[in-house]
Amino acid sequence: MMIQSFSELKVDTKGQKLIDISKKIENFVKDSKIINGIINLSILHTSASLIIQENASKDVLIDLENFFNNLVPMNENLYLHTLEGKDDMPAHIKTALTNTHLSLSVIGNSLKMGRWQGIYLFEHRTNNHIRSIFCHIFGE
C-alpha cells in the first residue's frame, strides 16, 4: 500500500555558508516508516538552494563558497535588483545556478546516497535567515 508523509524543516542559516542537513532528512525518512519510495525536497526561497556534495572534507565546502562568490560577485554596480543589499541579486543568481528541489530514492527506510555524499542547504545571503525546506516522501 502506498503512503506519504509531509514535513516542513526549519533551518537557521546564520549567514552565507553550506549547512549539512543530511541527518535531519534521514530522521524524517526513518520517522515516515516508508521502506521503499521517493523523497522530494523543496526549499521555499529564491535566495538559498539545495545541493548534494561531498561530506568528507570541509575544504570542498569552503572551495564551493569561494567559487560561487568569485563567479557571482557582490557588486551593486553590476545589478539592477539591489533592494535588499549587495548580496540580494547575487543570491538569486546562485540559486538559479544550483537547485531548489532534490529527489532521492529511499531503499530499506534509508536515503540512497553515495558514501561521501551529503545534502546541504546552500545559504547565499550574508544575514541570518530561517529557511524552510518542504519534505514530501511517498512509497510503501
In this prediction the pTM is 0.96
pLDDT tens, 6-37?
999 999 999 999 999 999 999 999 999 999 99
Which residues, at least 6 apart from 83, have a Cβ–Cβ distance to it below 8 Å?
A: none
In 3D space, the residue among 119, 117, 120 whose CA is nearest the CA of residue 55 turns out to be 117
Q: With the C-alpha atoms ordered 40, 29, 133, 117, is the resulting torsion angle positive or negative?
A: negative
Q: What tens digit of pLDDT does each residue of 37-92 get?
A: 999 999 999 999 999 999 999 999 999 999 999 999 999 999 999 999 999 999 99
CA dihedral 77, 83, 88, 92 (to 10 degrees): -100
23 half-sphere exposure, CB direction, 13 A CA radius? 4
